[in-house]
Structure 1
Amino acid sequence: MFADGQPGRTGSDAAATGTATLAKDGKALATADLADCDVHQSRTCELRADLPAGSGAYTLTASMRRQATLSTEVKSVWTFPSATTAAQQPLPLMAVRYSPEGLDDFNRAKPGSTTRMPMWVERNPGTTKVRVNSIRLEVSADDGATWRPVPVTRTGSGWIATLTNPPAAGFVSIRAAVTDTAGDGVTQTITRAYAVG
C-alpha cells in the first residue's frame, strides 16, 4: 500500500492501521485487520475467505491510514468478475504507479508550478495481460473534500498527466480509476501524495 513508483519495490508502515474487505455481489464475505502489517511479516496481514461456488462480481477494498506528513491515507477498491476454477489462479488486480517529476528531496513542489506525472499500470504476477480500457485521474488540494479531473495522455506503455499545483503551501491528493476490457477495475486514492511549499 505504501510502495513508491519504482518497479519491484514494496513499502509498508508497521504503525499504520486499516482494513481489507472482500465482497461478492455486494455481500461482505470477510474482513481483515491490517494493523501491525510489515512487508517482512505478510502473514499477519492476510485476508482469508471461503468463497461460494459459482460466478459473481467481487469487490476487494483495502484502506490504510497513518500518522505521517505524506500518504496519510491510501485506499484501493478493486472490482472483478470471478468464478470457480479447477486450479488456483491469481486475481486480476491492478495498481496504478506514479513517478512525479520536479519534486524536491522532501517530495515538495513549488507553489503555482506544474508537475509532470508519468503513470503506468501494474498487474498481479501470473495474470493474463488484458488491455486497459480507460484511465481517469483526479486531484484534490483539500484532502479529498473536492476533486477536479486532469487530462491524461497515452505515451507508449503508460500515460502522462500535467498537474497544476496550488498557489499556496499545502498538499496534493490523487485519485485514479482504471478499467480493462475483461471487466476488471481499480479506484486508487492517495491522500497527500505530495506537498506544495
Structure 2
Amino acid sequence: MHDTGYDHWSTTATVTAGGTTALEFGRAAWGPVRYLPWVQGGTIGFDTSGMIADPLLSGRDGTIDASATLYRDGKAVASRSGLGTSPSVPGPTTFTAPVTTSAAYTLKVHASRFVDGVQQPAGMMSTATDAAFSFHAGPASNAVAPAFLTRFVPAGLDRFNRAPSGRATTIPLVLDRTSTRAGVPLWPATVKTVEVFASPDGGRTWQPLHVTRTAAGWTADLSAQKAATEISLSARVTDTGGNRTVSTVYRAFLTD
C-alpha cells in the first residue's frame, strides 16, 4: 500500500513461498471511475471524487477541482463549480440539482488536478477529465443512471507512460457500471455500441480508433504515431435504450 496522506492504493495478491509480488500505481490513464449519476426523491446527484482515479486499482486523486452543469432538453438548468476533493476548493464532492420535470437530461462534469499555490509537475499525466451522461429521468425516478464509464488501460507502456515508437498501441477498455449510492438500484442497461477517439493535440481534434469486441471485452487500437505525441482519449458508450456516456482523459499517455 502507498499512502501519501491524501489517499492510498491497494490490491490483493497470492504469493507462493519464496515468491515476490509488485504493486504498480500511478500509471496511465487516470480517468472517471465508479461513480454514476443517481436520481432519487426528485434530486439528481453525482459524486465527483472519482473523476481522476487509477483505472485498475483502488486509488484516486485527492486534489480534484470539479465543475458540473445539468441540461434539460438541451438547456442548462443548474451549474456548480468548486466541487471535488482538493483542499483548495470550497464545495462538497457531490453535485445535486432538482428534477422537477420528466425529460431528457445531460450532466456534464469537468475535473482537473489543483492545489492552490502548488505548481503541478510538467510531466504530469491525466491532467484533466470530462464525463457526460445523457439519459431520461423524472421526479419519481429512483435509480442509478443507465451509464457506463470507460476506463482506459493502454498496454505496453514504459514506466514513464510512453508507448514504444513505431508500433501500434492496444488499449483495453473496462466498461465501469457500479452502484455506489446506497438504497438506489441500478437502472437496467445493455451496451449497444462503443466508440473510441484519440487526440494528439489536447482535444482540439479527434480521430476515431478501430474498436474490437472479444470474449475478453472491448479494445481500441491506436496506429503507430509519426512523432512524439501526447495522446488524449475519449470513449462514447451507447446502450440499447439510447442512453449515452462519454468519458474523456486528457494527456492519457505519451508516444515516443
TM-score range, shorter chain: 0.7 to 0.9
Deviations 1:107-127 (A, max 9, x none): 111222221111131114141
- The match for 2:189 among 111, 130, 143 is 130
1:174 and 2:233 aligned: yes
Residue 144 of structure 2 aligns to a residue in which SS?
coil
Cα distance in 1 between the residues matched to 2:213 and 2:239: 15
> For the Cα contact (< 8 Å) 1:139–1:172, is it kept in 2?
yes
Unaligned runs of 5+ in 1: none
Q: Which AA in structure 2 matches 1:171? A: E
Aligned equivalent of 2:97: 49
Aligned equivalent of 1:2: 52
- The match for 1:121 among 175, 179, 184 is 175
| Greater strand share, structure number | 1
Provide the alpha-carbon RMSD of the alignment: 2.4
1:20 and 2:68 aligned: yes
Report the TM-score when normalising by structure 1.
Answer: 0.85
After superposition, residues 132-151 of structure 1 pair within 5 angstroms as 132-151=191-210
> For the Cα contact (< 8 Å) 1:137–1:151, is it kept in 2?
yes
1:59 and 2:109 aligned: no
1:75 and 2:130 aligned: yes
Q: Cα distance, 1:102 vs. partner?
A: 0.3
> For the Cα contact (< 8 Å) 2:67–2:79, is it kept in 1?
yes
> For the Cα contact (< 8 Å) 2:126–2:251, is it kept in 1?
yes
Q: Which AA in structure 2 matches 1:73? A: A
> For the Cα contact (< 8 Å) 1:96–1:122, is it kept in 2?
yes
Q: Which AA in structure 2 matches 1:150? A: L
Deviations 1:23-54 (A, max 9, x none): 2112323222245525xxxx8121121221x4
Q: Which AA in structure 1 matches 2:61? A: S
> For the Cα contact (< 8 Å) 2:146–2:188, is it kept in 1?
no
Aligned equivalent of 1:192: 251
Q: Which protein is bigger by CA-based radius of gyration?
A: 2
Residue 95 of structure 2 aligns to a residue in which SS?
coil
Pairs aligned (count): 191
> For the Cα contact (< 8 Å) 1:120–1:157, is it kept in 2?
no
Unaligned runs of 5+ in 2: 1-50, 114-119, 180-184
Q: Which AA in structure 2 matches 1:19? A: S
Report the TM-score when normalising by structure 2.
Answer: 0.67
Q: Which AA in structure 1 matches 2:53? A: A
> For the Cα contact (< 8 Å) 1:20–1:34, is it kept in 2?
no
Shift in alpha-carbon separation, 1:124–1:183, aligned structure 2, 3 A: farther
Residue 134 of structure 1 aligns to a residue in which SS?
strand
Shift in alpha-carbon separation, 1:192–1:165, aligned structure 2, 3 A: farther
Q: Which AA in structure 1 matches 2:186? A: T
Residue 160 of structure 1 aligns to a residue in which SS?
strand
Identity %: 33
